[in-house]
Structure 1
Amino acid sequence: MTTSHEIRDCVVVTGASTGIGAASARELARRGFHVLAGVRRDQDADALRAPGIEPVILDITQPGHITELAARVDSQAGALRALVNNAAIQINAPLEILPLSEWRRQFEVNLFGHVAVTQALLPALLRHSGRVVNISSVGGRVAMPTYGPYAGTKFALEAISDSLRRELAPLGVRVVVVEPGSVRTEMADRVIVATNQAAAVMSPEQRDRYGSLIQAINAHSAAHTPGGTPADAAARVIAKAVTTRKPRTRYTIGRDAALITRLTRVLPDRMLDRILVASLRPHYPKATTA
C-alpha cells in the first residue's frame, strides 16, 4: 500500500495472473504506477504481489467482483490513469463441434466482461481524463480456421473499441487497442489443451472432417510460440499505450501481427485465404498431405 506522502496514480490490469497481464503489471509498477492487478486465485496473488502491485481477486464475469474493484478504485488516493482490459480465454475449434455454452463462455470473458469492467470504472476514468487500453489480438483482424470463437470475440472488441473511442474522445478519455501476434506465454499451451478437449468429443464423421485440421492448427501454434515476442517486450508496448501523451489508436505487438494487419488492408479475401492455407500446409499430419 502507498503512504500518504507517496501517492501514486493507479492503473487497473485485468487477467494479470500470468503472461502479458503479469508482465504489464510489473512494467507499469516499475514506471511508478500503483497497479491493481486482477487475478483469479490467491496463489496467483501471492506470486505477483510486489512493490507497486496490489493483486485483487477478480473474475470479470462476476458482478460482485467488479463492484468491489470499483469501490477499491474510488478509495485510491491517486487518480485512475488507465484500465487495461487484458483477461481472455481461448479454445480453437470448428464451428460445428463447439457447444454454444463454450461460445458463450468465450464471449462472456473476452467481450462482455470487459464491457462490464469498463462501465464500472468509466466514472473514475472520466474524472481523471484516463485511458482505456483494450488488448485485442491479430485474431481481431484475421480469423484462421478453427479460430472463429476466439476471433469473433476479438473482432467484436475491436468494433466496440472504435465506437467507444468516438464516444469518449470529446470527454477527454482516450481508447487504445493493442493487437498482439504470437507471444511467448503459458496461454499457448492452455489453448492446445482446451482445443484437444473440445476435439475429443467429435463424432467419427466430424473427426474425418476436422481431425487433421485441428492437428495442423495445434502444430502451427506450437511451432510459432517459441519464436514469439517475449511477454516483457509485449508489456512495454502496453505501457507505451498507457503512458504516451498522444497514443495511436492501435498498436501491434510482434512482426507477425504487423505483417498480417497490413495484409488484411490490401489483399482480397481469396488471396488471404490462400496465404493462410499455405501457412498451415506444413503442419498437417504427413499421412494426409497430398
Structure 2
Amino acid sequence: MPEPTAKLVVVTGASTGLGASTARELARRGFHVLAGVRRARDADALRSTGIEPVILDITQAEHVAALASRVADDPRALHAVVNNAGIQVNGPVEALPLEQWRRVFEVNLFGHVAVTQALLPALLRGRGRVVNISSIGGRTAMPTYGAYAGAKFALEAVSDSLRREVEPLGVRVVVVEPGGVRTEMATRGVATANHLAAGMTPEQDERYGGLVQAINSLMTSGTASGLTADAAARVVARAVTTRRPRTRYTAGRDAALIIGLARVLPDRTLDRVFATTLRRHYPAATA
C-alpha cells in the first residue's frame, strides 16, 4: 500500500467549539487531523474523514507522551500543532482561590508548553508550525480576568520567545487572538464564575458581587454577538496554511478594536473605557 500523503495537524481541545470547528476545517482542506478530546463520546461525535480523535488531557504527562508516540510512528510530516485547549475561570484577585489559579495555568499555559515540547522534534523535521490560541485577554485584562488573562499573557510571551528560538530553524510560531466566540466555553465560564462567587465572604461579596454580575452580563452579550466557531476556525486555518503567516491574527471585530485601543490608549484612559462599558451591565441596585 502507498504511504498516505496528507500532512498531519494536531488540534488540542477539539471536543467542542473552536477546536472541533478547527479540526473540521483543516480536514476539509486536506489535512489528517489528530483531534485531542477528553472523552470517548466526544471522539465518536467528531470522528469523520480526515479526523482521527485521540484521548488527550494536556495536563496528563502520559497522554502527551502517547500523542508524541502516535506522531513519531506516522510516516506523514507534522505540519502544525494548534494549542487550543483551555478553560475559563473568572473571579476577583482577592477572592479567587489559589487552587483555581493553579488549575487555570496548568491547562491554559503549562499544558500547551508540554505538548509543544513533546512535538517540537517532529515539527523541526517537517519545518512545521505552532499555532497558539490566545485571546484578547492575552493583550488586555478586564476585571475578574486575572487568572485567565494572566495565563494568556504568559502564553503570548512564551510564543514570542519560542518564535525567536525556532524560526531560524524553520518552524513558524503564530498566535491567534479571538474575541467573543459563540461556544460553550463562555457559558461554562459564567456558570463557574457564579459558583465561585457564591463562596466569597460577605465582605468580598459586598466589594465585588455587583462587578461579577456585570462581567457575566458583558461576557454573555459579547458571546452572543461574537463570531461563530466556524468563522473563528477559518482564521485559525489561515494561520495554519498561509505560506508566510503573520506572528499574530485577531479573530472578530471586538478583538481588533480592543487590542487596537490597548496599543494606543494610556492605561488610565483604558481603565475608564472598561468602567464605562461595564457600568450598564451592573445590577440596578449597585450600578
Normalised-by-shorter TM-score class: over 0.9
Aligned to 1:10: 8
For structure 2, the 5+ residue unaligned runs are: none
Q: Say if 2:152 is the partner of 1:121.
A: no
Aligned-partner residue type, residue 188 of structure 1: A
For structure 1, the 5+ residue unaligned runs are: none
What pairs with 1:15-94 in structure 2 (closer than 5 Å)?
Answer: 15-94=13-92
Aligned to 2:147: 149
Find the aligned partners of 2:105 and 2:280 in 1 and give their Cα distance.
Answer: 31
CA contact (8 A) 2:127 2:170 kept: yes
Find the aligned partners of 1:5 and 1:128 in 2 and give their Cα distance.
Answer: 16
Deviation at 1:77, TM superposition (A): 2.1
Find the aligned partners of 1:172 and 1:66 in 2 and give their Cα distance.
Answer: 23
Q: Say if 2:278 is the partner of 1:280.
A: yes
What pairs with 1:1-290 in structure 2 (closer than 5 Å)?
Answer: 4=2, 6-289=4-287
CA contact (8 A) 2:11 2:36 kept: yes
How many residue pairs get aligned? The number is 287
**2:158 aligned counterpart, secondary structure:** helix
Aligned-partner residue type, residue 225 of structure 1: T
Question: TM-score normalised to the size of structure 2?
Answer: 0.99
CA contact (8 A) 2:130 2:173 kept: yes
Find the aligned partners of 1:141 and 1:235 in 2 and give their Cα distance.
Answer: 20
**1:12 aligned counterpart, secondary structure:** strand
Aligned-partner residue type, residue 180 of structure 1: P
CA contact (8 A) 2:3 2:75 kept: no
Find the aligned partners of 1:43 and 1:166 in 2 and give their Cα distance.
Answer: 39
Find the aligned partners of 2:239 and 2:2 in 1 and give their Cα distance.
Answer: 28
Aligned-partner residue type, residue 16 of structure 1: A
Identity of aligned residues (%): 70
Find the aligned partners of 1:111 and 1:5 in 2 and give their Cα distance.
Answer: 35
Find the aligned partners of 1:7 and 1:171 in 2 and give their Cα distance.
Answer: 24
Find the aligned partners of 1:55 and 1:84 in 2 and give their Cα distance.
Answer: 14
Aligned-partner residue type, residue 75 of structure 1: D
CA contact (8 A) 2:88 2:186 kept: no
Find the aligned partners of 1:4 and 1:60 in 2 and give their Cα distance.
Answer: 33
Deviation at 1:273, TM superposition (A): 0.2
CA RMSD of aligned residues (A): 0.8
Deviation at 1:78, TM superposition (A): 1.1
Aligned-partner residue type, residue 95 of structure 2: I
Deviation at 1:5, TM superposition (A): 5.1
Find the aligned partners of 1:232 and 1:137 in 2 and give their Cα distance.
Answer: 16
CA contact (8 A) 2:133 2:175 kept: yes
Find the aligned partners of 2:198 and 2:98 in 1 and give their Cα distance.
Answer: 16
Find the aligned partners of 2:257 and 2:93 in 1 and give their Cα distance.
Answer: 27
Aligned-partner residue type, residue 22 of structure 1: A
CA contact (8 A) 2:4 2:76 kept: no
Cα deviations by residue, 1:160-193 (Å, 9 ceiling, x for unpaired):
0000000011100000000000011111110001
**1:177 aligned counterpart, secondary structure:** strand
